[in-house]
Amino acid sequence: MQKILRSTALRLHRRTPFHYIECSRRVRASLLLPPRRYVSAPAKPTLLSPKFTIPWLKALELRDKQPETSTESQPNKSPLVPKRMTDSYSSYTLEFGKDEWLVDSYVNATGQLRLGAIFMDLDALAGVIAYRHAGAGYTIVTAAVDRISVLHTPTSFCDMELRGMVTWTSGRSSMEISLEVIANEDNKTVLTCQFTMVALDPTTKKATAINPLIVETAEEKRIFARGEERNKFKKDLASKSLDKQAPNEEESNLIHSMWREQQAYKGRYSDRVFVYPSIGHLAICLPGGSMLHFVAGSLVYETNAS
């Protein structure tokens, strides 16, 4: 997998045309000024920067004015074209070493890399890769993230490259996209993961066929076979779900053992009244979100509202 990705990167030298947005993802409370360090902050590259020609509400209004069409599934008018793995290859570099404002959006309160922000970018990149393989005219959704393997923890915020490609297709509507994050400083793999994406008809919202995948080299055949094994494992696991069959002997013994352990506490606290705490609102404070002003603004808003 890594060999194909790296060789493709050297051969294609492609970068997806992502644009720039404001450097901080923050919520500005009314009547509160933003923190000074963000007033003149430069823009940062992001995967989540699509170009819209009209506002969303206007698009919904235009859609409602269109004549109604049949709800039955309609065949895809464009012919399906087999594609190679490298045809969908895409990469994107987070230039942490050059942009300190970009680091602010990917760091947690302790100064470590916030993997949640990386996962958001990986999901966006998986969508770009899926559309490069399937083409236009589909609604593509993330069906599952099969596995995330964190292999290396960077010691500093160096440039990181996010890259991947389609490595398996079901022959119908689903495709598996293998992604990896590389730390350019020491060329080590930070993490790898597999996203399962499904193509839907924009009108009927039903699964629709996508382009098949061409598998040529021995390495590609090995990668494709691993995707087939993962798909088979997921189907076997789903068939053994408790929603479809009763617990087996091992599971029944485990349930009985847990029940017997709970019997030791039966009646011990019958004369006591417990008060169970609950959380009504939770806000995660992060450096890139101007959370000091956000929390204060939320308190002011809730106080005025009450």
- CA distances (Å), origin 218, targets 83, 214, 223, 306: 17, 12, 9, 66
In a domain, 75, yes or no: no
In a domain, 297, yes or no: yes
φ, ψ of residue 107 in degrees (nearest 5): -115, 145
φ, ψ of residue 91 in degrees (nearest 5): -145, 160
Contact 38, 24 (CB under 8 A): yes
Q: Which residue do the tokens 């039903």 mark?
A: 206
- How many Cβ atoms are within 10 Å of 145's Cβ, its own excluded? 15
The b-or-e profile of 163-201 (16+ CB within 10 A means b, else e) is bbbbbbbbeebbbbbbbbbbbeeeeebbbbbbbbbbbeb
Q: Where are the strands (E) in the chain, listed by range? A: 20-21, 44-45, 83-84, 90-94, 139-150, 160-169, 174-183, 188-200, 213-214
Angle among Cα 18, 24, 28 to the nearest 5 degrees reads 130
Contacts of 114 (CB under 8 A, 6+ apart): 106, 107, 108, 286
pLDDT tens, the chain, 306 aa long: 665 555 555 444 433 333 333 333 332 333 233 333 333 344 444 555 555 678 888 888 887 887 765 544 454 456 888 999 999 999 999 999 888 888 888 988 888 888 889 999 999 999 999 999 998 888 999 999 988 999 988 878 899 999 999 999 988 899 999 999 999 888 889 999 999 999 999 888 899 999 999 999 999 999 999 989 988 888 888 888 888 888 888 889 999 999 998 888 776 666 666 667 776 777 777 776 654 544 455 444 444 444
Identify residue 296 by its one-letter amino acid code: A
Q: 12-15 contacts: CB < 8 A, separation 24 or more?
A: 12/86, 12/89, 14/89, 14/90, 14/91, 15/91, 15/92, 15/93
- CA distances (Å), origin 140, targets 39, 51, 135, 184: 37, 17, 10, 30
Contacts of 78 (CB under 8 A, 6+ apart): 135, 137
Which burial class, exposed, middle or buried, applies to 211 when counting CB atoms under 10 A from its CB (0-12, 13-18, 19+)? buried
In a domain, 154, yes or no: yes
- CA distances (Å), origin 153, targets 147, 162, 182, 187, 188: 17, 15, 11, 12, 9
Q: Domain total for the chain?
A: 1
In a domain, 271, yes or no: no
Q: Indicate if the alpha-carbon torsion angle 76, 82, 85, 87 is positive or negative.
A: negative
In a domain, 260, yes or no: no
In a domain, 251, yes or no: no
CATH of the domain at 95: 3.10.129.10
In a domain, 17, yes or no: yes
Q: Report how far residue 201's alpha carbon sits from residue 73's, in angstroms, rounded to the nearest whole number.
A: 8
- Structural domain harbouring 174: 2-64+82-241+279-305
Contact 231, 176 (CB under 8 A): yes
Q: DSSP 3-state assignment of 61? A: helix
The b-or-e profile of 107-126 (16+ CB within 10 A means b, else e) is bbeeeebbbebbebbbbbbb
In a domain, 171, yes or no: yes
